[in-house]
Every structure is written in structure tokens, then in C-alpha cells.
A and B are shown apart, each in its own frame.
Chain A
Amino acid sequence: MTEQPAIETLGLVKRFGATTALSGVDLRVPAGAVLGLLGPNGAGKTTAVRILTTLIRPDGGHARVTGLDVVRQAGAVRRAIGLSGQFAAVDGYLTGRENLVMIGRLSGLRRVAAKRRAADLLELFDLTDRAGRTVRTYSGGMRRRLDVAAALVAAPAVLVLDEPTTGLDPRARLGLWRLLGELTARGTTVLLTTQYLEEADRLADQIVVLDRGQVIATGTAEQLKNRVGGGRLELRTRPGDDPALLAAAMTGLGSATPTVDADAGLVVVPVADGPGVLPDVAARLAAAGLRVSDLALRRPSLDDVFLALTGRPTTTPFVGSSR
């Protein structure tokens, strides 16, 4: 018998009226692994999270967390999971410490244990300085950190994070990534949803791409990027120069022919190998006697993955409620 996965879903289906939020989703997260559930707004990420955390009931299929059925053994599942939902749910009129102690008590910890646990987590999440202030005075990043800390209070076997860095500024995002990286390095099983390929790449061992309630790709970040063809090189001509000359000079450089945006003076070259092409780019520019006003290497984003996998951009009508 193989080891029991921490999370397993089979043919998960959920409908909201005429909307099918999930249509047959299979997931499998081994114990200690980090799964990134990647998809645009409305893909069904939160719906999957809410089923796994017993907040809603699936219309079809099965979901198990540490071997426990989320419908028939909901109470036991709640003891196994920690949830940090899409919007930070901490009480603004309690202090950071009071929030964590409250969640600890409601998770079944005795008073002393809840207090000690709160202190440890405040330290780990770099919130000790502000632990005695009401959460209303926190920045978005601090609120999010507290919310993730609240999900960890009862030391759950499985941590579920729904878009943990959406809405954070880049600095707060980096800070949270570092913390989550430390957590996952210690072996916590995590299911993480995100709209950012970079985030999944950074934190997850395995990525599942969700689109309109269906899994459209599974693999490591590397495998997904390879399917997209890596990143792209963007070169901008100097004002007045002909971008076609630049494009001609770069032909044969990347994995596909360069595209030219003449109005913007922009030449885009898909490149599999990222920074590895830079020496060749410099050599080609020198050989052709060309100069550029700007050069950028863009890493592939969810949009690129989507375009490659579905042939449509992520911006098609996916404006659902963001519950």
C-alpha cells in the first residue's frame, strides 16, 4: 500500500446555480509536499479550498484530508486543517495576540498552551513588536501574516492558504514568501492557491493549473515553463531606428521567430533559456552594428502559461464574485 496522501480529491464537482465552479477536479498532495493551485480569477480555486476545509459540500466526487472524508468526517477534518482564507479574517478590534489566543482556545488548546503558542507564532511571524496593538492598526502585510499565523495555531497537519499574497505590496509579498518558504522547508503540508506563476514557482513543489473548474495542466514550475517556452526577451529600438532590422538580427536566437511592434519600436523574442541568451544577444547586436534603448527579460507569467495551454488570455470573462 502506498503512503496515504495528505489531500486527495477525486472528480470533485460543485455548482452554484447555472455556474459550474468545479467540474471533476482530481488533486493529490503527498504528506509534506506543497501544492500550488494556479488559476485566474473565477477558476474555482476558492471553491476547492472551501470544500477541503468543510465550509461547503461538494455536489459530486470525493475529497479526503489526511484520509478523512470532508463530508462524513467534517469534525475530524477541522482538527487536521488550518485555513487562511482569501481575505484575512482576523478581528480588527482585538490585538494580534488576542486573536491568536482566541483561535488557539477555539481549536481546543488549553489556556497556557494557547498563550505560549501565540507568543511563538508572533515571534516567528515577526509581529512581537505589535502584538499588543489592535489589528486595525496593522498594515496589509502584517494582517496577512497574522492570518497565516492564526491558521497555524493548532499545529495543523495540513495548511490551506487561499491567495496569501494577493493585494500585498511587493515588499510584503517577499516577506511572506520568505516565511512560507521556511514553513514548507520544515515539512508542513500546504495547499496554496495563487494567480501568480512566480509565487507557485517559488513556494510549490507541484503545480496544478485550474481553468473554469478543470485541471488543464499539472507539473513542476519547470515543466510548465517548458511548455510555455520559457520567458521572452523584449528589445526596444532607439527612436527613429527600424525595428525590422533589429528583428532580423535576432532571428534564430530564440525558440520562435521574433514579433515586431513597429509603433512601439518593440521586438519580442520568445526564449527558453532566459539569461543564457544574453551573450548571444550582445554579440548579434555588435555584429549588426545596432543599439537598443531598452532590453528586458520577462519571466513567463500565468498569462503566458494560459496562452500556451488554452490559446486564450486570462482576461476573458472571468469576473465572478470573489468569494
Chain B
Amino acid sequence: MTTGGADLVRMPGAGRLPADTATVTGRNLRRLVRVPTLIAFATAQPVMFVLLFTYAWGGAIHPPGVTTYIDYALPGIWVLAIAFGASQTGVAIADDLTTGMIDRFRALPMARAAVLAGRVTADAVRNLFVLVLMTGVAYAIGFRFHAGPAAALTAIGLALAVGVAFSWIFALLGLLVRDPESAGIGGLLAVIPLIFTSSTFVPVATFPGWLQAFAKVNPITVTVDALRALCLGGPTSAYVWHALAWIGVLLAVAIPAAVIRYRPAVGRQRPA
């Protein structure tokens, strides 16, 4: 080839997943700080959640075992913000499909899973930022960790892991519906019922019996309960293992399904 590229150094084709994932992650993080709606989803919205739920509901709800509602609510608000953020993953994937970006990526000799993995990784970085931001605001209005720094860090790590699982699920949704608006609406329709039928804002014991049965197996309840245990103190390991098991199941289903769905129609690379 004669357009000045004869001396280009290429990396080997195998083992490209980490490097390609890093490249795609970098692209998505740049977008996160440049696209206005994404900035809003990562800053104003989480702060608003913390303030609204504390001041609007905090006076009315008095869950047992806590003195301030924010101590009870923050783990739930974390999951709420992460779930809403994850629904944006589906929107972004659908957007990349409609703008032809994913066709461009598919025609490149890159690692197949990197476009999705890079999206999920960027979302995890955003979630870390969002968690720290929300916790900081919550601290300012009275929230405290009651089980020590190790439990607090475990809580943040577990929240990030939940975010990764949600992101893979919504990436799959984006690939399936292919249209950004539908992905956005579908995301909200999935998140809102799961949040409100969980222990996010109120104890499950206040639900009618039939709803309690569902709420107890709702993965959001399971993770919020684990996060809450890590924040408030008391017995934690059963909750945490239960949450990790759920996260494992979600990942085991969503990752292969999304990667298969992403695969170009012409697959099974067999380089000459």
C-alpha cells in the first residue's frame, strides 16, 4: 500500500481484548464528560435523588433500626442511580448501532467483545464517580457508615459489581431493540417496577403478602439489603453472598448473550 503506511507497526491479532477494551473505554469516558445529557445523568440526577428522597420522604418513613432515614435510604439510592445509569448503556449501544459506529467497529480487526466491554467499563468508572458524589452529599446531610471502613469499601465494591451486571443486561437490551428511544423507554420500564417492588425505599415487610414473595427474590432487594447491612452493621455475610450469587447469575447470562448478539453476521474468524 502506498499511502504512507508501509512502515506501520501492527500488534499481533491475538490477545487484543484488554487493549481494545481500553481504547473503547477511553472513547466512552470522553463522551461522558462531553455529552450534556450524560453529564446530567452522572451529576445532577444522583445528587437530586439523595436530596429529594431524604427531604421529601425522610420525614414520613421511619424504618426500624435506624435513627435517620438517609442511613436507611442511601444504599437504595445508590442502586437506583446505578440502575438508571445502566439504562443509558442500552441507549448508547442502540445509538452506536443507528449511527453506523458499530458497523465501523465490526469491520475492524478488533476483539469482538471489546465494544461492549469498553462500554461497561466506562460505566463502571462513571458509577464509581456517582457513588462517591452521592455519598459525599449524603455525608453533608447526616449520613454515616456504621460498620467501619472495610465494610464501607466492600459496599462500594459490591455496588460497582451490581452496576456491571446491570450494564451488561442493558447492553443486551440495546442490541435487541436497536433503537435509542425504545432502549431508553424499555430501560425505564424495566428499572422502575423492580425498584419499587424492592426494599429500596421501604421495608419489604410493609408490602402485601403476594408482593412480599416477589420482593424477596427481586435482585434489587437482595443487593440493597446487602449494601444496607454493610453500611449499618450487624450480620452481613449471608446478605453479601446472596447478592454475589445473583450478580454471578446475571453476568453468566447477560455477557454471553450480548457478545453473541453483537457478533457480526459473519463470524468464526479463521485468519489465513
Contact = CB atoms under 8 A, between A and B. Distances in A.
A89 B99 contact: yes
Given A134-B34, A155-B4, A110 B9 contact: yes
Interface in A94-149: 94, 98, 102-103, 105-110, 113, 117, 120, 124, 134
B1 A188 contact: yes
B109 A56 contact: no
B101 interface: yes
A89 B267 contact: no
Contacts of B101: 89, 91
Given A75-B13, A87-B100, A155-B4, A94 B107 contact: no
Given A55-B266, A108-B109, A155-B4, A83 B9 contact: no
A20 interface: no
Determine chain B's interface SS by DSSP, over half rule.
loop
Given A55-B103, A91-B101, A72 B270 contact: yes
Contact of B3 (A70, A74, A81, A186): A186
Contacts of B8: 109, 113, 117, 154-155
B5 A55 contact: no
A108 to B, nearest CB: 4
Interface string B1-36: 111111011111100100110011011001100110
A183 interface: yes
Contact of B108 (A94, A106, A113, A183): A106
A37 to B, nearest CB: 17
Contact of B4 (A81, A98, A120): A120
Contact of B107 (A57, A78, A152): A78
A150 interface: yes
A194 interface: no
Contacts of A107: 10, 108-110
A54 interface: yes
A75 B1 CA distance: 19
Contacts of A72: 268, 270
A78 B270 contact: no
Interface string A59-103: 000000000101111111011010101011101011000100011
Contact of B10 (A75, A85, A109): A109
Contact of A155 (B6, B266, B271): B6
Nearest to B30: A94
Nearest to A155: B5
Q: Which of A54, A71, A103: most chain B Cβ within 10 A? A: A54
B56 interface: no
B265 interface: yes
Contacts of A103: 104, 108
Nearest to A116: B8
A183 B26 CA distance: 31
Q: Which of B3, B101, B267, B271: most chain A Cβ within 10 A? A: B3
Interface string B85-109: 0000000000000011101111111
B206 interface: no
Interface string A16-45: 000000000000000000000000000000
Contacts of A117: 5, 8
A155 B8 CA distance: 8
B67 interface: no
A81 B1 CA distance: 11
A9 B10 CA distance: 28
Nearest to A186: B2
A300 to B, nearest CB: 32
A187 interface: yes
B267 to A, nearest CB: 7
Interface of B: 1-6, 8-13, 16, 19-20, 23-24, 26-27, 30-31, 34-35, 99-101, 103-110, 114, 264-272
Given A93-B30, A134-B34, 4 more contacts: A71-B266, A72-B270, A94-B27, A152-B5
